[in-house]
Structure 1
Amino acid sequence: MIDIKRLYQLWVQYNKEVTWCKDSNIKVFNFWNLQKPEDLWLHQFIQHHFGESLSKKNSIALFSVMGDRRKISLNRSKVKVFFTGENTTIWKDYKDHCIQEVDLSMGFEYIDADNYLRFPLWLLYILDPRSDYQAVKKSVHKISVTNKDRQNYPKRFCSLICRHDGNGIRTEMFNLLTSVGQIDSAGPFLNNTSELKEAYNDQKQEYLKNYKFNICPENSNTLGYVTEKLFESISAGCIPLYWGNENPEPEVLNKNAILFYKGVERSHELTTQVRELHNNEKLYGEFISQETFVPTAAEYIWDRLNMLHEHLSRLLKN
């Protein structure tokens, strides 16, 4: 039986999102509502590289997971692109990544399909969408020398910034590591300080620079699922205290520069490592002086950007 009310709500929401992008040949649907469409990384990437060639007849529509997927069939753009930075084991309506409905699908998973490109969320956080190869190399180098160039090591122990704890891992790590030192939780979850907002205007990277360690687990342990959390820690010069993939982004990251939480049964391993580094400045200095990226990291990242450009260029020309 057709749900008339739901169909009407779908049509209203679809047209509302069309209106948001009415003056653009790049339409945006089902993305995070924390940003304007034109502020999205993918929107800026497309505008920079293909803006002059876009028109009403040669337009692009971007779709994500935070809404009804039937908007894809409603849309008449020439090129349809699906992107998710979210785990589709949770957003189950999008488990198939809409591969049969769009011209290009992107996410963190490893999927063998001609119209799929692995493009994990963290790329959107460490790169300017207008980056060329030299800019990519510069960004990677800047992050990799963050720790080495410090004249004075941070004095504060550990930070946690998050909104929730759906799987309980953040709570486990927080409770475990309070035996080592004071953990400042600046986000809504377990909040015990307002400094991030009041002194740093919610500039997370600047705030994290005060800390030796940052608790940054993923929301789930899924193959390939690596978000911005790990890269934000590294970019700020913190040692990441991580839970998720056992070897996150091996084409990019040096796993030896990361400390891993391996569950309650092996929690003593992380506690011992953190306590030793926190209390021994020499050991701490040696640890953060490691290369955070593998030597070919910039090439891998550039390959992702270049492949995205090639896919879109081909689709717009066809």
Structure 2
Amino acid sequence: MTSSPSLKINFADFWATFDKKNNLFYRILSEKYEVIISEDPDILFYSCYGWEYLKFNCIRIFYTAENKKLDFTAADFGISFEFLDRKNHYRFPFYAYRILSSNNLDKLCQKFTEQEAERQWEQKKRFCCMVVSNPGAKKRIEFFQNLNNLKKVDSGGGTLNNIGGRISNKLEFISKYKFVLAFENESFPGYLTEKLVDGILAGGIPVYWGDPLVGNVFNVERFIHYRPGENEEDIFATIFNMEKDKEKYMEILRKPVFRNNTIPDVLEIDNLSQFLFYCISESKNRKPVAKTAKKYLHQLNIKKRKLQKKLIFLNRRLNFLQKIKKNFIG
């Protein structure tokens, strides 16, 4: 029996709860390689939550769960939500990562019977909830506050928490509510995260705002779609009408999750596996971008981004001080 070839990898700048040995990429690579987490890796997977990746000069694979564009002055390969026609890029939005890493595709595709839909209606005694941590998502914050002024919306995350503390299990928490606010941090074509999926998995009706192309993947009849340019009051009316209409609520719960009842290609795990194995194979024949002149261009890009963030911060602070001055004088 031949042993699997070894592969040294590492992960940098991922979200706080990311586990280097318990994630989708590690799991896939382990099917073919003896994967070793190393400080001197052959391959580095990195994301957008820090700058640790800069200390690694090996082949880099960028992955983002946020609305952050790929920068090929730093990455040799990329996995993102973007629509890029490049051999060294694989389109894999975060909703797909969430579904495949949690093995929830079968559950997501299961259609409620009438009895199951009625059970969901009866069990969900609470109105509406939200679980988010980013306080800078203006559209989401305004919608929450305006709806909350009409009827209390329970917020269980770190932002606008009004239930006495952060919840420990998101799906368990939101499964108690008829409606779940599923707003992305930002609206951008293809940027589609876990928020809509979590609301559906919890057996409720998400209120979704974000990706204008969401209907290319998901069945817009399975959730309340707050479309670009739509009136907020109309969405409120839809929510309150549906809250009282048991038959309509159950009808929506029983709709198929995906458009045309067809599972998208990004949820075929073999496609991601093929891309990862391609990256490993190609990495043996190319010089890491971190060892080329592009690294100097990347350093300039970093300085530019940091300056832009600083200017945004200073502008917000100036606006805040001007409001204080206006209120004081007025």
Q: Same fold (TM over 0.5)?
A: yes
Please tell me the root mean square deviation across aligned C-alpha atoms, in Å.
3.1
What's the secondary structure of 1:50's corresponding residue?
A: coil
The one-letter code matched in structure 2 to 1:163 is S
For residues 276 and 120 of structure 1, do their structure 2 counterparts lie closer, same or farther at Cα, with a shift above 3 Å needed? Answer: same
Offset at residue 249 of structure 1 (A):
5.7
Offset at residue 119 of structure 1 (A):
0.7
What is the CA–CA distance in structure 1 between the aligned matches of 2:134 and 2:264, rounded to whole Å?
Answer: 35
* Equivalent pair of 1:196/1:204 in contact (CA under 8 Å): no
Q: If you compute each CA radius of gyration, which structure gives the higher value, 1 or 2?
A: 2
Q: Do residues 209 (structure 1) and 175 (structure 2) align?
A: yes
1:259 corresponds to which residue?
224
What is the CA–CA distance in structure 2 between the aligned matches of 1:65 and 1:195, rounded to whole Å?
Answer: 28
1:5 corresponds to which residue?
none
Offset at residue 280 of structure 1 (A):
1.6
For residues 127 and 212 of structure 1, do their structure 2 counterparts lie closer, same or farther at Cα, with a shift above 3 Å needed? Answer: same
Offset at residue 212 of structure 1 (A):
0.5
1:191 is aligned, of 150, 153, 161, to 161
For residues 315 and 226 of structure 1, do their structure 2 counterparts lie closer, same or farther at Cα, with a shift above 3 Å needed? Answer: closer
What is the CA–CA distance in structure 1 between the aligned matches of 2:53 and 2:101, rounded to whole Å?
Answer: 31
1:308 corresponds to which residue?
272
1:298 corresponds to which residue?
263
Q: Relative to structure 2, which stretch is displaced further, 258-267 or 287-296? A: 258-267
Dislocated runs of 4+, deviation >6 Å: 53-58
* Equivalent pair of 1:196/1:207 in contact (CA under 8 Å): no
* Equivalent pair of 1:127/1:139 in contact (CA under 8 Å): no
Offset at residue 55 of structure 1 (A):
10
1:91 corresponds to which residue?
none
2:61 corresponds to which residue?
81
What's the secondary structure of 2:86's corresponding residue?
A: coil
Offset at residue 259 of structure 1 (A):
1.2
What is the CA–CA distance in structure 1 between the aligned matches of 2:226 and 2:54, rounded to whole Å?
Answer: 40
Offset at residue 196 of structure 1 (A):
6.0
* Equivalent pair of 2:128/2:180 in contact (CA under 8 Å): yes
1:28 corresponds to which residue?
11
CA deviations on 1:25-60 (whole Å, 9 max, x unpaired) are: 22112222333322333223322x233387989942
Q: Do residues 172 (structure 1) and 142 (structure 2) align?
A: yes
* Equivalent pair of 1:120/1:226 in contact (CA under 8 Å): yes
Q: Which has the higher contact order (CA 8 A, sep 6+)?
A: 2
1:71 is aligned, of 26, 49, 54, to 54
What is the CA–CA distance in structure 1 between the aligned matches of 2:90 and 2:224, rounded to whole Å?
Answer: 29
1:117 corresponds to which residue?
90
Matches within 5 A, 1:97-112: 97-99=70-72, 101-112=74-85
What TM-score does the superposition give when structure 1 sets the normalisation length?
A: 0.74
Offset at residue 157 of structure 1 (A):
0.6
Matches within 5 A, 1:128-139: 128=101, 136=105, 138-139=106-107
* Equivalent pair of 2:64/2:79 in contact (CA under 8 Å): yes
What TM-score does the superposition give when structure 2 sets the normalisation length?
A: 0.72
What is the CA–CA distance in structure 1 between the aligned matches of 2:182 and 2:37, rounded to whole Å?
Answer: 42
* Equivalent pair of 1:62/1:82 in contact (CA under 8 Å): yes
What's the secondary structure of 2:101's corresponding residue?
A: coil
Offset at residue 159 of structure 1 (A):
0.5
What's the secondary structure of 2:192's corresponding residue?
A: coil
Unaligned runs of 5+ in 2: 1-5, 283-330
CA deviations on 1:286-313 (whole Å, 9 max, x unpaired) are: 222211223454352344x322211222
